[in-house]
Amino acid sequence: MSRFAAPIAKSIWDMKYRFKQADGTPIDKTVEDSWRRIARALAEREPEHEDAFYEALEDFKYLPAGRITAGAGTGRSVTLFNCFVMGTIPDSMSGIFEQLREAALTMQQGGGIGYDFSTIRPKGADVKGVAADASGPLSFMDVWDAMCRTIMSAGSRRGAMMATMRCDHPDIEAFISAKSDAARLRMFNMSVLVTDAFMAAVEADESWDLVFDGVVYHTVEARDLWNRIMRATYDYAEPGVIFIDRINAMNNLAYCETISATNPCGEQPLPPYGACLLGSVNLARLVADPFGEAAALDEAVLARLVRTAVRMMDNVVDESRFPLEAQRQEAQAKRRIGLGVTGLADALLMVGLRYGSDAAAAQTEEWMHQIAREAYLASVELAKEKGPFPLFEADAYLASGTLAHMDEDVREAIRAHGIRNALLTSIAPTGTISLYAGNVSSGIEPVFAYSYTRKVLQKDGSRTEEEVVDYAVQLWRDKFGDAPLPDYFVNAQTLAPSDHVKMQAAAQKWVDSSISKTINVPEDISFEAFKSVYLEAYATGCKGCTTYRPNDVTGSVLSVSEQSETVPEAETGAEVIYMSEPLDRPSELDGATYKLKWPESEHAIYITVNDLVVNGHRRPFEVFINSKNMEHYAWTVALTRMISAVFRRGGDVSFVVEELKAVFDPRGGAWMGGKYVPSILAAIGGVIERHMIAIGFLEGEGMGLKSDPKAEVVNLGQRRGPACPRCGQYEMRMVEGCMTCGACGHSKCG
């Protein structure tokens, strides 16, 4: 009997978390092998706990973050930490580019990073000693964005970045409007650091100074600036809002650090070089007698699971590699962990509660209180055994905003024995690991859709369909057959924005870091009602707010009628398809060979692109790149293999062209055909693009697929997601602050 609750769960495990040899041969024969690998690795220094660790992992009860699940016990040189905030950016050219180098090293190992760009002088400010004006932080963000495009994170996932800027920086208005350009800063999530003083000025309708280094550059009306933030978010889904003073006031470590940035999805506010690892308790697996009269979360199992998870995560701090020594030192000094939950909405359904109701909010607060209490007590026990974190100071630690409302017996235990981990709780994005766990609801988000159809192209060219059903809905079907779902079954499309805020605020009370949460709002929400969502989030104690309103720039998520159990199926008119395995290569393929002469190079490069015909449509299938110049040998072979591997997986592979054309050579590019080409790789990208246009795969230069998958509307009146850039299916949705594919788990920020 399979451990996997759904076919997609096994697919995600095989694709993302299964340990394999370099040639793809599985080392983990079963998911039990994966659990044993992780348990053994995290118990290396205390093998007596290996079986307890395995039991926690078994049946997906505790879900370490993807970095741990994929990397622990493999011997690979990757970080097991998900979240990093980089060092403070100095206001100097050398300092800025040193930070750029550190960012590249961190993303190379798979870390998502956050930066506060408020420390860079505004555009037009004097640059002393060189008789020039500063270009401002936005120009340097463009450099970071270009760098991120060229770095492939560990686990074949592109790096994700968060950029923050204070609400009183002189360039804040340019920062707010940056995402109005659909082609700019696409590698960044962006958030404004909003202070309590600014919110007070908004409420009082006062003026607001924009200041850098003690100099007032401009004075604006606070409400006008707030409205600009809100309008950009309303129109383009960014920037988000981070209530930075609340974060610092509530921080357990306020006595020894100041926070001004977060990781890409916002659940980890961190100091310079701060790092945090993540993991989630799967509440959907802990409900006894689901949908029955005695349905309830098994609190004894929850308590035991939380205590084991804390020990496992504390061990990760010592077992992980770090891209930078400063990150290792920061992690060791404070031993931050981010234990959270997933499957909350499913668990609430199983005990008969409507997500967003007062009863569900109260139950969520109670569950989160128990998790926080058990986590802190477990960390105290670890402190008795192994010592508290090095920077622990009892009085200062217990004076923080978070500890002020902690249970008195927990406070006394901390005072008496210290605590091993400075911060312990966080609600992380869990899109992919939730699919791996059987499509449980993600994090503390509501159920997005009760079910949808996933198409998989097989090796023989046929297509199979898999229904992907929410975990709680499948349990209901297993127990009651075709009986209609009760009224308390709600999804993200039918909830009022205030219900989202209520649930976020209920969870935040017992989360010492922060929460990755998206508040879905209808497209036709009025601007005034939209602004009230943010004011409600501030008033109810949230540390930040991220909304998603369907729009032309970011695309529209799929909506489902309240009565419908199924997501309308979209056709793949352009044959944008996902191949579970690469197609077999026919014995003969048609193609074309192109000669590329790079200026000042002794030998030409020859590029052959061969095509496959699928259902009457030609698409690129493989690439060969050759040159007599032996200096080119290694990278041309690598490029040949990587591009061909991508092409053979199917989907919208036009992104390969985009990525190649974005590569710039620091030694300089060349003029070719009247155009400046920034590197030889960009020139190769141009050749492949021209081939795609010639065979009809692209409509024109930079214009994507000939038949735009977003243009096919199947069910009139229903909004649907854009096609996934990885698998081509129409299951992209905004979850926990990040566009995520429900079919394959692809996400730009993990």
Cα distance between residue 685 and residue 681, in whole Å? 6
CA dihedral sign, ordered 562, 564, 565, 569: negative
Residue 433 CB contacts under 8 Å (≥ 6 apart), including other chains: 63, 65, 66, 69, 280, 342
**Of residues 167, 265, 545, 749, which has the active-site annotation?**
265
Residue 716 CB contacts under 8 Å (≥ 6 apart), including other chains: none
**Of residues 189, 248, 263, 282, which has the active-site annotation?**
263
Give the tokens for residue 376: 């802190």
Strands 261-262 and 287-288: unpaired
Give the tokens for residue 533: 């969502």
Give the tokens for residue 302: 């929850």
Strands 605-614 and 617-627: antiparallel
CA dihedral sign, ordered 313, 315, 319, 325: positive
Backbone φ, ψ for residue 586 (5° rounding) = -65, 165
DSSP output for 43-63: TTT-GGGHHHHHHHHGGGSEE
How many helices, marked H, and strands, marked E, lie in the chain? 24, 30
Give the tokens for residue 688: 């492949």
> Mapping DSSP to helix (H, G, I), strand (E, B) and coil, where does residue 469 land?
strand
Residue 186: how many other CB atoms lie within 10 Å: 12
Assess whether 263 carries a catalytic annotation: yes
Give the tokens for residue 667: 């030694």
Cα distance between residue 9 and residue 498, in whole Å? 32
Task: Find out whether the peptide bond into 239 is cis, omega within 30 degrees of 0.
Answer: yes
Q: Measured between alpha carbons, how far apart are the two ends of the chain, in Å?
A: 30
R_g over Cα of the chain: 26
The amino acid sitting at 669 is G
Give the tokens for residue 374: 């058990």
* Nearest residue to 161 (alpha-carbon basis) of 174, 150, 148, 171: 148
Cα distance between residue 228 and residue 336, in whole Å? 35
Assess whether 724 carries a catalytic annotation: no
**Of residues 238, 267, 622, 731, which has the active-site annotation?**
267
Give the tokens for residue 33: 């092998």
The amino acid sitting at 746 is H
DSSP secondary structure code for residue 441 in this structure:
P
Entry field: residues in the chain:
750
Residue 667 CB contacts under 8 Å (≥ 6 apart), including other chains: none
* Nearest residue to 157 (alpha-carbon basis) of 66, 37, 275: 66
Contact indicator for 449, 361 with CB cutoff of 8 Å: no
Residue 192: how many other CB atoms lie within 10 Å: 27
Assess whether 265 carries a catalytic annotation: yes
Contact indicator for 679, 632 with CB cutoff of 8 Å: no
Give the tokens for residue 5: 């609750």
Tokens 């932080």 correspond to what residue? 137
SS3 content of the chain, % helix, strand, coil (to 5): 40, 20, 40
Q: What is the dihedral of CA 337, 162, 273, 279, to 10 degrees?
A: 10
Cα distance between residue 46 and residue 54, in whole Å? 13
* Nearest residue to 591 (alpha-carbon basis) of 667, 461, 694: 694
Backbone φ, ψ for residue 701 (5° rounding) = -60, 120
Beta strands in 398-520 (DSSP E): 451-457, 463-469, 519-520
Beta strands in 580-727 (DSSP E): 590-596, 605-614, 617-627, 670-672, 675-677
Residues involved in catalysis:
263, 265, 267
